[in-house]
Amino acid sequence: MGDRRMQWRLLRTGHNPGAWNMAVDEAVMVHVARGLSPPTFRLFEWDPPTLSLGRVQSFERDVDVGACESLGVDVVRRPTGGRAVLHDVEVTYSLIMSEGDPALPAGLGESFSLATQGIIKGLRLLGVEAEIRGRDEGEKRGRAAGGTADAGGGAVRTGACFDSPSWYEVVSGGRKLVGSAQARLMGVFLQHGSILIELDAEKLCSLLRFSSDEERAAAARHLRSRATSISQVLGRRVGFREVEDAVIAGMRSHIAPIELVEGDLSGEELALANALISRKYGSPSWTVHRRAEP
């Protein structure tokens, strides 16, 4: 065995419901905060498809509950900020580590790059050229396209994450490919995000509230102009495992000499995750109401 101070844990937890996925992120955070779990990089998917909301996003304003029910889409609320993401045909990642870890840069941009530069290296192994773009560049692009400089970043404002500029984002061909969010809680750094394998703009917009069908159609067009997917870039179908393997290889290259060692959730982490589903992530009181604090 190598030096554990130079090892991160890799988790591949597969397809699970949204409440379980969010509960696992928090359970790992708690155990990292207590010094019981190592820095953890996790890759996972969603079953059933799930609409996740940012921590302070309005459920009543943005979510069409009837559409979610009819399409079999769950709704959860993330512990991080941002807008709605439809987790369907994608690989999702999370990076969880102590804020005091010497491998974690202090600045927002540098800490964002810790995970995303590894993901970019993995995407390149698939044949996808991607780069990090800062907020200023995203806002300039929105204005050049005839949009506004508000949080929507363009002429159409929606509740969807992938249509709005973030402080930093991963783009391919000028369009957003990886949407990410950060939180620092309990002395722990969490960054998680969606690596889109396929993008269904119409499906996402069908789950959100709009004042008219025309506005919904315009929002879908706007989203397609701002976001892309691995399959669209490559012009072929891509599997979950193929993306996971490439991202892992990219992360291993990026964080070397730190080792990324595949492992499992501990029994204590699983027990806490199940408790968090019952009292938090699976509870309507958490999902429906905005949270100023997680």
The answer, yes or no, to whether residue 183 has pLDDT greater than 50, is: yes
The mean per-residue pLDDT over the stretch 85-90 comes to 97
The mean per-residue pLDDT over the stretch 34-59 comes to 96
The answer, yes or no, to whether residue 209 has pLDDT greater than 90, is: yes
pLDDT attached to residue 127: 98
The mean per-residue pLDDT over the stretch 235-240 comes to 97
pLDDT attached to residue 146: 33
User: Tens of pLDDT along 150-172?
Assistant: 223 334 455 555 555 455 789 99
- Write down the CATH number for the domain with range 4-128+178-206+237-287: 3.30.930.10
pLDDT attached to residue 163: 52
The pLDDT > 70 percentage for the chain reads 85
The mean per-residue pLDDT over the stretch 210-218 comes to 95
Which residues are catalytic, by number? Answer: 161
The pLDDT > 90 percentage for the chain reads 79
Model pTM score? 0.89
Higher pLDDT, 186 or 150: 186
The answer, yes or no, to whether residue 47 has pLDDT greater than 80, is: yes
Task: For the chain, give every domain's residue range.
Answer: 4-128+178-206+237-287
The answer, yes or no, to whether residue 291 has pLDDT greater than 60, is: no
User: Tens of pLDDT along 95-141?
Assistant: 999 999 999 998 888 999 999 999 999 999 999 999 998 754 444 44
Return the closest-CA partner of residue 294 out of 36, 23, 20, 38: 23
Using CA atoms, how far residue 87 sits from 78, 115, 200, 236, in Å, is 12, 19, 10, 20
Q: What is the mean pLDDT of the chain?
A: 88
